[in-house]
Structure 1
Amino acid sequence: MNLPPGVRCSGAGCTGKGAEAMGCSGNPATTAATATVGATVVEVRYSKTCGAAGGRITAAVPGDTVRVSAGGTTRDGAVTATGDTLAYIPMVAVRDAREATAA
């Protein structure tokens, strides 16, 4: 499969990798779902180009965690450093944005 310039993975090859590092964030990505828990915003981000979904939490505090799952594959992310309010969750392969969930 020929990938667009800057995109470094697709499908299963994206699982466990960061969306930004693999060229799957920004323009090729859309927010598939959003939820607010207290002040923390949890997003499932989907890239049709990459065939993968990951997650992002913002307005978070150290210790906040989020998990993105699809088809039995799960990846976790957490805010770990004092002063950080943002964390990205590595991607999981999906055929469609609706396959991915965050918790």
Structure 2
Amino acid sequence: MCQQAIEKRLKAYIENSGTTPAPIHNLINLSKAMDVYDAMPEEIKNFLQELTAYYLDSRYKEDLAKLSAFMNKERSQVYLQKTEEVLQWLIQKMKF
């Protein structure tokens, strides 16, 4: 869900600028399409890369067990917090 929340925010900005967003889920490529990637702190870039990898892995049944074992309650809370921080950063940059 964290990946999807950020993906939707990025695609909303792209659409708001008059362009149709590409039908992709890669958060790095989406952020590059809207010219905010270069301004992103390295920590956010790394987090977007990580979320993109988890999203792609979660589409395959055999990877779901590995992901479930990795993502415990504490990690989930950290990911939710980081996602909120990224969304707030994007809102500031996009003037939504």
TM range (shorter): under 0.3
TM-score by length of 1: 0.25
TM-score by length of 2: 0.26
Q: Which has the higher strand share?
A: 1
Using CA pairs below 8 Å that are at least 6 residues apart, which structure has the higher relative contact order?
A: 2
Q: Which has the higher helix share?
A: 2
The structure number with the bigger radius of gyration is 2
